[in-house]
A and B are shown apart, each in its own frame.
Chain A
Amino acid sequence: MITLTDFLIVSAALFCIGLYMIISKRNAIQILIGIELILNAAILNLVAFGKHDAVNNSGQIFALFAIVLAAATTAVALAIILNVYRKYKTIDPDKINNLKDQ
């Protein structure tokens, strides 16, 4: 059988790849993908532990909630990215250094 530790190690690897993407990428969309990777690592942990809760299903239900939260985050973040692109003509977070009134 697959043990819990195996799943935890896979999820730790995914988390670190997501962390690397968030820090090193120069593109807001790729940073968003990094955030999604981290969220997925967390969901994998929830689901792996949820296997041992057959009555209440707490792990699986909160994994569902986390997926819905990720969807909401992405919608808002992409709207913000499009607005930033319209104003600055770039989505490099390093080059966005003004508030609305310059």
Chain B
Amino acid sequence: MSLIRLLFYFMSFIAIASALYAASTQNLVRSIFVFFVTLFALAGLYVLCLADFVAVTQVVIYVGGILVLILFAFMLSGKETLDVMQQQKGKFFSLGKLPAILLAALFFIVMINVVLKADADNLPWVKDSIANNNTITPNTATIDNIGVNLMTRYLLPFEAISVLLLMALVGAAHLSRKEPEA
């Protein structure tokens, strides 16, 4: 077993275990902080896919931006949020959650079946790209290529997403302003 495979198992174990913990814990604060760990482990998985730039972006935007925003909202929404959490404290496995567990488990079985049947490593275009040397290798510098592609081939989606981000931020600022006393 090579080191990279060992690292893959390590990272995916951390990602899935921390996601499971975030899903099962009753404590909102723990859930948020464990989600940090999941995001870091996912960034590690992106590095194993040879997508270092996406991994760095994940750390900067998700961990630095989104999670801080979630923590902020949690702290602004005050004590009653925690009280809601405390009320449903009880057994780890409650009957009310059975449908959700059942649905998620069945979905998982279906998806695993699809993944195994699809046999992604033998897809025609993947084989073509391996045959034509179109696969990223560990010593390719991907960042320059990403920058050039972002400014040429993907310029239109890039501009569209910048306008959308602006709209979303203006909308968020508008939503969170104090409403005038009517």
A2 touches B172 (CB 8 A): no
B130 touches A52 (CB 8 A): yes
Question: Can you give 6 A-B contacts (C-beta < 8 A)?
Answer: A6-B8, A20-B103, A47-B49, A65-B161, A70-B61, A79-B175
Tell yes or no: A68 within 8 A of B by CB: yes
Out of B28, B76, B149, which one reaches A56, CB within 8 Å? Answer: B149
A55 CA to B146 CA, complexed, in Å: 9
Number of A-B contacts (CB under 8 A): 237
Residues of A within 8 A of B (CB): 1-10, 12-21, 23-24, 26-27, 29-30, 32-34, 36-37, 40, 43-44, 47-57, 59-61, 63-65, 67-76, 78-83, 85, 89-92
B145 touches A54 (CB 8 A): yes
A54 touches B136 (CB 8 A): yes
From residue 101 to 125 of chain B, which have CB atoms closer than 8 A to chain A?
A: 101, 103-105, 107-108, 111-112, 115-116, 118-121, 125
Q: How far is the CB of B55 from chain A (nearest CB, A)?
A: 9
Out of A16, A75, A78, A82, which one reaches B105, CB within 8 Å? Answer: A16
Q: How far is the CB of B41 from chain A (nearest CB, A)?
A: 10
B51 touches A12 (CB 8 A): no
Tell me whether A68 and B149 are in contact in the complex, defined as CB-CB below 8 angstroms, given that A21-B22, A52-B134 are known contacts: no
Out of A3, A21, A53, A79, which one reaches B23, CB within 8 Å? Answer: A21
A8 surroundings in chain B (CB, below 8 A): 115, 118, 120
B111 touches A15 (CB 8 A): yes
From residue 32 to 85 of chain B, which have CB atoms closer than 8 A to chain A?
A: 32, 35, 38-39, 42, 45-46, 48-51, 53-54, 57-58, 61-62, 65-66, 69-70, 72-74, 76-78, 80-81, 84-85
B104 touches A82 (CB 8 A): no
A76 CA to B72 CA, complexed, in Å: 14
B97 surroundings in chain A (CB, below 8 A): 24
Tell me whether A20 and B169 are in contact in the complex, defined as CB-CB below 8 angstroms, given that A52-B130, A71-B61, A92-B84 are known contacts: no
B45 touches A7 (CB 8 A): yes
A75 touches B168 (CB 8 A): yes
A57 touches B69 (CB 8 A): no
Which residue of chain B lies nearest to A50 when distances are taken between CB atoms in the complex? Answer: B51
Tell me whether A75 and B54 are in contact in the complex, defined as CB-CB below 8 angstroms, given that A9-B112, A56-B153 are known contacts: no
Which residue of chain A lies nearest to B18 when distances are taken between CB atoms in the complex? Answer: A17
A14 CA to B78 CA, complexed, in Å: 30
A29 touches B28 (CB 8 A): yes
B28 touches A19 (CB 8 A): no
Out of A36, A54, A83, which one reaches B135, CB within 8 Å? Answer: A54
B172 touches A78 (CB 8 A): yes
